[in-house]
C-alpha cells in the first residue's frame, strides 16, 4: 500500500490542478487548499485511484464512498493526469473474450431487454433533462457551424445539417429511428414538409412528442410510435431514414440485423443517415480505466461502441453504400461541456426534481452519476477516446442511368456542395 500511495502522490504532483486526497485514516496527500478535494471512506477506492481506474473511483463517488468537492472541469483535468493507460486502447481482447462479448451482446439485446435499458436512461425524468438540455431537448451532438453559436443555435444547425445531407423534399416519407423528444422529427416536418414517422422505446419521450404533434397541428403527416425498430412494418419503404444517437444501443451482435432492417425500410435509391458515437480504438469492447463499466452500470446499460470501420463494414454487408462520412468529435465535447455546465448551474433544482420522483437516496445517486457522466464524456471526446460519426449511405438502385450523374444509382450527387449552399440560419 505504501508504494501505491507514493505513486499516487507523484501522480497528484503532475496534475494541472491542485488535488487533495484525504485517506480513510485521516492522512492527507496534496495541498490543503487544492482545487479538487476527494475524501475517501473506502481503501479499495484509494487503490483504484492509485491504479488510474478513474471509472471505479467515479462509482465510489456515486455510491457515497468518496466525497467530492470541486468543479467538474477541474476534476476531469485531474482525472486525465491520473490515468496510467489510454482508455481507448488498453482493453484488448483475445479470441475467447471476443466470443464472450458477442454472447453477452446477443443475450442483452432482446426486445424486452432493449426496452428496459432505454427506459432506464431516458425515462429517468423529463423535468430533469429539461434543466440542462436546449429548449428542443435535442439529446445528441450539436453542430457548432459558427464559433459563437449558443447550444440552442448549434442544435438547430445540427438538425438542419442532417436534413440537408438527406436532401429532404416536401412530401417525402421520412423515418427517424430513435426519435427522442422529437427535435429532428418536428424540424424535418416543419422546415422541409416531409411526411414523418418517429419510433422510440421511451414511454416518456413518446408521450412528449405526441403532445407536441397535437399542439402544432401536425397529426396529418407526423406520427410517433412506441416501437422497437425490429418490429416496424410499413406498406411501402421510406424515401429517407435518419438514426441519431440510437445505434449505440443496438449491440454488436445485432448490428447486422439493424442495418439489414434499415435496408428493408429504405426504398431503392433512398438515403439514410446514421449519426452515432463510435469507439476510438479498433479492438476494445468498451472504454478502459473502469469508464465503460461506470457507464454500463449507472447510465446506459446495454450500450456498446464500435469503431467506425466496423460500422462501415456492417453497413456494406447490409447492401448500403457509404457516400459521405463526417467526424464531429470536438463538437460533441463542446456539447457535453455545455450540458455539464448547465447541470452544475442548476444542480439544486436537479436534485429536488430527482428526489421528488425517485426518493432521497436514488435521487442523490442519480445526480452524482450524471455529473460525472457528462463531464467524463466531454473529456473522452476531447482526448479522442471516443468519436461521433455521421455516416450518409444510399441503397443503390442497381440502375446506372439513375441519379444526377451516371452511376449514382440514387439521388446523391456525389459532391458536398448541396449540403452548404443557402443554409438556414438557426434562430436563437
Which are the catalytic amino acids?
A: 377
3-state secondary structure of 155: helix
Q: How far apart are CA 21 and CA 31, in angstroms?
A: 9
Parallel, antiparallel or unpaired: strands 19-22 and 28-29: antiparallel
Four-residue CA torsion sign, 161, 162, 165, 169: negative
User: Is residue 243 within 8 Å of residue 178, measured between CB atoms?
Assistant: yes
Burial of 392 (0-12, 13-18, 19+ CB in 10 A): buried
Distance of CA 247 to the CA centre of its chain: 9
Neighbours of 361 (CB within 10 A): 10
Closest CA to 274 of 250, 300, 302, 291: 250
Distance from C-alpha of 271 to C-alpha of 169, rounded to nearest angstrom: 12
Nine cell digits for residue 353:
426534481
Q: What gap in Å lies between CA 196 and CA 218, rounded to an integer?
A: 10
Angstrom distance (rounded) from CA 324 to CA 420: 14
Angle, vertex CA 387, rays to CA 382 and CA 93, nearest 5 = 110
DSSP states along 301-364: TT----BHHHHHHHHHHTTPEEEEEEE-HHHHHHHHHHHHHHHHHTHHHHHHHHHHHH-HHHHH
Q: How far apart are CA 79 and CA 15, in angstroms?
A: 8
Other Cβ atoms within 10 Å of 53 Cβ, number:
23
**What whole-number distance in Å separates Cα of residue 54 and Cα of residue 86?**
12
Q: Is the distance from CB of 176 to CB of 242 less than 8 angstroms?
A: yes
Q: How many helices (H) and strands (E) does the chain have?
A: 17, 11
**Cα diameter, the chain:** 77
Amino acid at each position: 500500500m505504501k508504494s501505491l500511495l507514493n505513486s499516487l502522490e507523484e501522480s497528484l504532483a503532475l496534475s494541472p490542478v491542485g488535488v487533495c486526497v484525504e485517506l480513510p485514516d485521516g492522512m492527507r496527500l496534496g495541498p490543503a487548499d487544492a482545487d479538487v478535494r476527494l475524501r475517501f471512506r473506502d481503501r479499495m477506492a484509494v487503490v483504484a485511484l492509485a491504479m488510474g481506474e478513474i471509472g471505479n473511483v467515479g462509482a465510489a463517488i456515486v455510491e457515497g464512498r468518496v466525497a467530492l468537492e470541486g468543479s467538474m472541469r477541474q476534476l476531469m483535468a485531474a482525472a486525465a493526469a491520473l490515468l496510467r493507460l489510454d482508455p481507448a486502447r488498453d482493453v484488448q481482447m483475445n479470441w475467447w473474450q471476443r466470443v464472450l462479448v458477442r454472447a453477452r451482446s446477443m443475450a442483452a439485446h432482446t426486445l424486452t431487454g432493449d426496452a428496459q435499458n432505454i427506459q432506464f436512461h431516458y425515462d429517468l425524468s423529463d423535468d430533469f433533462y429539461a434543466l440542462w438540455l436546449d429548449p428542443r431537448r435535442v439529446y445528441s451532438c450539436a453542430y457548432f457551424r459558427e464559433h459563437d453559436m449558443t447550444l440552442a443555435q448549434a442544435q438547430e444547425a445540427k438538425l438542419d445539417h442532417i436534413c440537408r445531407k438527406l436532401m429532404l423534399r416536401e412530401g417525402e416519407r421520412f423515418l427517424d429511428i430513435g426519435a427522442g423528444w422529437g427535435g429532428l422529427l418536428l424540424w424535418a416536418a416543419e422546415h422541409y414538409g416531409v411526411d414523418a414517422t418517429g419510433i422510440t422505446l421511451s414511454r416518456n419521450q413518446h408521450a412528449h412528442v405526441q403532445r407536441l404533434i397535437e399542439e402544432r397541428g401536425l397529426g396529418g403527416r407526423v406520427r410517433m410510435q412506441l416501437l422497437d425498430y425490429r418490429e416496424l412494418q410499413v406498406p411501402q419503404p421510406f424515401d429517407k431514414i435518419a438514426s441519431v444517437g440510437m445505434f449505440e444501443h443496438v449491440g454488436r451482435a445485432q448490428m447486422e440485423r439493424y442495418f439489414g432492417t434499415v435496408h428493408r425500410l429504405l426504398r431503392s435509391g433512398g438515403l439514410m443517415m446514421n449519426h452515432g458515437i463510435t469507439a476510438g480504438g479498433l479492438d476494445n469492447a468498451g472504454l478502459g480505466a473502469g469508464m465503460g463499466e461506470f457507464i454500463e452500470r449507472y447510465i446506459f446499460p446495454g450500450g456498446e461502441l464500435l469503431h467506425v470501420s466496423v460500422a462501415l463494414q456492417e453497413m456494406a454487408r447490409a447492401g448500403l453504400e457509404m457516400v459521405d462520412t463526417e467526424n464531429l468529435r470536438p463538437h460533441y465535447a463542446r456539447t457535453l461541456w455545455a450540458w455539464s455546465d448547465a447541470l452544475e448551474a442548476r444542480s439544486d433544482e436537479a436534485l429536488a426534481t430527482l428526489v421528488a420522483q425517485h426518493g432521497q437516496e436514488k435521487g442523490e445517486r442519480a445526480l452524482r452519476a450524471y455529473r460525472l457522466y457528462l463531464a467524463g464524456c466531454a473529456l473522452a471526446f476531447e482526448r479522442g477516446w471516443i468519436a461521433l460519426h455521421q455516416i450518409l449511405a444510399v441503397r443503390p438502385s442497381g440502375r446506372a442511368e439513375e441519379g444526377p450523374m451516371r452511376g449514382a444509382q440514387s439521388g446523391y450527387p456525389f459532391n458536398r456542395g448541396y449540403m452548404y449552399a443557402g443554409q438556414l440560419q438557426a434562430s436563437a
